[in-house]
Structure 1
Amino acid sequence: MATFLLELVSPERLLLSRQVEMAVIPAADGEMGVLPGHAPMMVALRGGVIRVRENGAETERLFVAGGFAEVTETRCTVLADEATPLASLSRAEAERRVREAEEAYAAITAEDPPEKREAAMNRVLSMRAMRDAAEAA
């Protein structure tokens, strides 16, 4: 079966770089399947799980807390704000991070710029997605 290069880069390191059959990424507008020959595009990512398929089976699942993906016919490069293998997620840690994000959002005042409120809400949604991914793992 045809493959393409999937690269997943976090601020800390390169997490994944190999040929895969398919990847499902959490695009801001919804789940997006990437296959070899995909139309070129750039997409924003929301918090969610990247699913990797190789040899006809799902081989890896990684949580990303947002970022961007560049898709070409032969490559998908994910630049993640934060990325963690699903097996490494802790429910307790995810719950703590949800609480912190919700507290930060609640502390925003009417005088704060709308961009600050939007960024804080995106963080809340991302951490809730992390908690959901940790519970499902």
Structure 2
Amino acid sequence: MAGEEKSTMQVNIVASDRPVWSGTARSVTIPASEGGMGILPDHEPVLTVIREGVVTVTEAEGTQHSFNVNDGFIAFDSNKLTVAVERGSQLKDGQQD
């Protein structure tokens, strides 16, 4: 459905030495340098520094993926989010209640 496509965004999480995760999501929370930040589809373009913490990706059906990340940055534009970090690793997967 066209409406369903618009309610998601493409997400790529990459570490300096490897890709960490790639897929579509309905929301992503990040540890921005100024504090926690949420990104939703159709968000205004943004480029910001992130600090060490956890990035949480929620897929369209509700599955959540959490990633421990080190310093880096995010870039969001045209429903494409790139999270580029020094180091990143997946913590766990789970279903949203």
Tell me the TM-score normalised to structure 2 length: 0.83
Other-structure match for 1:9 = 14
**Percent pairwise identity:** 29
Equivalent residue for 1:46, pick from 44, 47, 51: 51
Q: How many residues align?
A: 87
| Contact 2:8/2:60 (8 A) holds in 1 | no
Report the aligned-residue RMSD.
Answer: 1.3
Q: Which has the higher contact order (CA 8 A, sep 6+)?
A: 2
Equivalent residue for 2:67, pick from 49, 62, 84: 62
Contiguous gaps of at least 5 residues in structure 2? 93-97
The answer to whether structure 1 residue 78 and structure 2 residue 80 are counterparts is: no
| Larger fraction in helix | 1
Other-structure match for 1:90 = none
Secondary structure, counterpart of 2:52 in structure 1: strand
Distance in 2, matches of 1:36 and 1:81, equals 25
The answer to whether structure 1 residue 31 and structure 2 residue 36 are counterparts is: yes
Secondary structure, counterpart of 1:55 in structure 2: coil
How far the C-alpha of 1:86 sits from its partner, in A, is 1.5
Secondary structure, counterpart of 1:12 in structure 2: coil
Structure with the greater alpha carbon radius of gyration: 1
Give runs of ≥4 in structure 1 deviating > 4 Å: none
Contiguous gaps of at least 5 residues in structure 1? 88-137
Distance in 1, matches of 2:60 and 2:75, equals 23
Q: Any idea what the Cα deviations from partners look like across 1:18-71, whole Å, max 9, x if unmatched?
A: 111100011101111011101111100000000011135352000101101001
Residue identity in the other structure for 2:82: T
| Larger fraction in strand | 2
